[in-house]
Homo-oligomer: A and B are copies of this chain.
Amino acid sequence: MTVYELHQLTKIYDERTVLDIPDLKIKENRIYSLLGPNGTGKTTLLNILGFLEPPSGGKITYRSKPVRFVESELQALRRDVILVDQFPILFTATVWKNLEFGLKVRKISKGKRTRMIQEALDLVGMRDFALAQAHKLSGGETQRVALARALALSPRVFLCDEPTSSVDVENQAIILNILKRINQTKRMTIVFTTHDRTQARTISDQTLVLDRGRLLEAGYDNIFSAVPDLNSLGETKCVIHPNISLLMDSHKIKPAKDRFRILIDPKQIHPLRKAGKEFPVNVLQGIVRQVVDENSKIRVVVDSGVRLILLMTEKTYRHSQIFVGDSITYYIPPQAIQAID
């Protein structure tokens, strides 16, 4: 089932369009990660999905019913959907009272409430803080309590804005596991934002990438700002680093500007045994800094002055015998490069 359907959705702040989504479907019982640079509209989108802010234009349907942003109708919808803020606010009260709030609002009996609160606090490892004053907690503690407060309510849709940004590593893993688990056991739909791509890939079923308010199809891994290469004759080349000039597929270029941004599809970059004649251009060298297993894909981070990401199958990876610390050679096909905006 489709939970959300967005059509021609826009949000305008002070005459600036910060969100512009022609079409988006969010399906039930899946985990979505929302990636993108700062100020790209992630929080704005979550606020709209959480029915907390009206869009400036466009349509949203929630569970097949069109959403009208009228206070009286939103109330019921908000019972289904919970958003945990990027910098969450805890009420000036104890941690316990904070968790109790949503449950009381839902008229859950005292005994049940107590059980649910304890459960939720255990989940995020904050049971010892039940009676602490919430506004005195540390950054990570705050974030974890905010998560517990939302989890205690078992919503249909769970929206998390950078849920683990201030959480320690140990608890990051725990929280991600919780998200995964409640997604399965309670059939919860989850949308979360993050700047950690590995985290996104590891637990989400689908990654949405926002860039300047628009959804990108191609992913978010290799975005660079570029200038046209003025030395190139007849060819369309762009410079992304003093030493790196790349040939682009002219089909994928929009009208030339002074400065634009390109996106390189990490799946299309392949490592080479050594530089050869077959590929006269777009061959780079770099040192492997990191290799990560991401849901059966292998992600290789190469430092060539700029950091480039290569995404390959395990087979290719093993075959090319890539070790961290190695210097490797790789080829970027012109059609892998796309100019955005």
What B residues does A167 contact at CB under 8 A? 38, 195
Contact A39 B288, CB 8 Å, known A166-B165, A323-B318, A324-B298: no
Determine how close the nearest CB of chain B comes to the CB of A301; give it in whole angstroms: 9
Determine how close the nearest CB of chain B comes to the CB of A208; give it in whole angstroms: 15
Contact of B290 with A292 in the complex, beta carbons under 8 Å: yes
Name which residue of chain B comes closest to A37, CB basis: B168
- A173-202 interface mask toward B, CB cutoff 8 Å, 1 = contact, 0 = none? 100000000000000000000010110000
Name which residue of chain B comes closest to A198, CB basis: B290
Give the residue among A288, A290, A298 with the most B Cβ atoms within 10 A: A290
What B residues does A42 contact at CB under 8 A? 138
Determine how close the nearest CB of chain B comes to the CB of A265; give it in whole angstroms: 17
A40 to B43, CA, bound (A): 29
What B residues does A38 contact at CB under 8 A? 138-141, 144, 166-168, 171
What B residues does A21 contact at CB under 8 A? none
Contact of A171 with B291 in the complex, beta carbons under 8 Å: no
Determine how close the nearest CB of chain B comes to the CB of A80; give it in whole angstroms: 25
What B residues does A37 contact at CB under 8 A? 140, 168, 170-171
A42 to B38, CA, bound (A): 26
A43 to B141, CA, bound (A): 12
- A192-232 interface mask toward B, CB cutoff 8 Å, 1 = contact, 0 = none? 00010110000000000000000000000001000000000
A288 to B167, CA, bound (A): 24
Contact of B195 with A172 in the complex, beta carbons under 8 Å: yes
Determine how close the nearest CB of chain B comes to the CB of A46; give it in whole angstroms: 11
Contact A293 B288, CB 8 Å, known A87-B139, A141-B38: yes
A41 to B13, CA, bound (A): 39
11 A-B residue pairs with CB within 8 Å: A38-B138, A38-B139, A38-B168, A40-B138, A86-B166, A139-B161, A165-B165, A165-B166, A169-B197, A287-B293, A291-B291
Contact of A317 with B324 in the complex, beta carbons under 8 Å: yes
Contact of A86 with B195 in the complex, beta carbons under 8 Å: no
Confirm or deny: A162 has a beta carbon within 8 angstroms of a beta carbon on chain B. Answer: yes
Confirm or deny: A254 has a beta carbon within 8 angstroms of a beta carbon on chain B. Answer: no
Confirm or deny: A155 has a beta carbon within 8 angstroms of a beta carbon on chain B. Answer: no
Confirm or deny: A50 has a beta carbon within 8 angstroms of a beta carbon on chain B. Answer: no
A43 to B142, CA, bound (A): 13
